[in-house]
Amino acid sequence: MTAPPATVPVPPRSRVAAHLVGTALALVVAPFAWLACAGAAGAFAEGAADGGGAPPSAVVALLAGALVLAGIVAWAARSAVAAIVVGATYGVAAALVHTFARSRVNTVTDALPETWLDLPVQAGAELLFRAQAPVLVGGVMLAAGITAFAARRAGRYTEREDARRTAALGATTAPRPRIVAHVVSVVVGAVGTPVLLATAGAFTAATLMSESRTRVAVVALAGALAVAVVVGIAAVSSLGAFVAGALWVIAGLGYLAAPDGARSLLAGPVTRIEELLLGEPVGDAVHALGATGTVLLVGVVLLGAGVAAHGARRDGRNLERSEIALVRDRDAVVSRPNG
């Protein structure tokens, strides 16, 4: 009997359950996370108007909503469906509305309850829409889902190449060092953070002050590119997303704890970036992102993106390793002489 070749494909492991859980997270859980974030933004505005600062209950609500959204992103290590669905729904859809149908924004916010858990949801949602929070956070989530998918494929490819090298040499070889990937990822995460923040502010400023849809669309594309670079580098190494997320979290907490100090600290870098790349004032828009809790929200979601990319890469390697072992064991049984 002739044994089949060792390259007979193995059916991939079913991931239907992970996809179904991701869909449920996107459709059922994510809206409540956004309600919590909107209520927190409204409470922050009320606290600033009263001179009392950020209410602790609003900070808790924001962190709860942010952690839920970050968890949805982290689930992309198993299935990218949830992150992509939520990101496309809230990010891409909101960007299109702001660019081509701004008058419909009030229609969306008016459909929300005025309060939820004693938080001013409707007023906060209007602030978040005005600050472009759904566009920014949704874009990060969409990019994180795509990045996790790419990281999983990269993990499978790496494991496959390691197996081929081991077979060719006849001995187990040490994994290839990834120090260059880690360094590049960290640099991109650190340098890209202020660029992304300034670009997000430019999009907010353009939607508020520019009457040109073309101008808004161009700035939106620039922001999408910045998001793709900062988040997408996690497909190479998740350290970049962790660094960027930590910087955004620190800046976001600073805006809530000491808004004037955070604004002064970021004024220099933001001004230089707007002069070099954007050509329009974005300081007030960036401050709006910080005051509504959007900066902190994005930071937590970026940390979730790092978890997703790291987990997806490991999942890809484990899946490829198990399939290689299954093929090897099956070929050994088939080629065994009948006795």
**pLDDT tens, 115-161?**
877 888 888 888 888 888 888 888 899 999 999 999 988 888 888 88
Q: Say which DSSP state 103 is in.
A: G
| Cβ proximity of 121 and 39 under 8 Å | yes
User: How many domains in the chain?
Assistant: 1
Answer whether residue 2 is part of any domain: no
Given pLDDT bands bounded at 50, 70 and 90, which one contains residue 171?
A: low
Amino acid at 321: R
pLDDT, tens digit (0-9, with 9 covering 90-100), for 227-255 = 888 899 998 899 999 999 999 999 899 88
Q: Is there a domain that residue 7 lies in?
A: no
Model's pTM, two decimal places?
0.85
The answer to whether residue 85 is domain-embedded is: yes
On whether residue 99 sits in a domain, the answer given is yes
CA distances 125 to 25, 59, 168, 177, Å, are 21, 16, 59, 46
pLDDT score, position 75? 93
- In 3D, which of 259, 273, 145, 147 has the Cα closest to residue 201? 273
> Would you say residue 5 lies in a domain?
no
**For residue 119, what are the β-bridge partners?**
116
User: Is residue 1 one of the residues assigned to a domain?
Assistant: no
> What is residue 280's predicted lDDT score, i.e. its pLDDT?
59
Among 73-82, 250-259, 273-282, the range scoring the smallest mean pLDDT is: 273-282
Q: Is the pLDDT of residue 104 over 60?
A: yes
Nearest in space to 146 (alpha carbons), one of 196, 199, 247, 73: 73
What is the domain range of residue 89?
A: 16-169+178-334
What is residue 192's DSSP assignment?
Answer: H
Q: Which residues contact 145 (CB under 8 A, 6 or more apart)?
A: 73, 76, 80, 81, 82, 83, 84, 87, 308
Mean pLDDT value of segment 36-45: 91
* pLDDT band of 4, cuts 50, 70, 90: very low
Query: Is position 8 within any domain?
Result: no
- pLDDT given at position 331: 62
Is residue 311 domain-resident? yes
Which position has the higher pLDDT, 52 or 146? 146
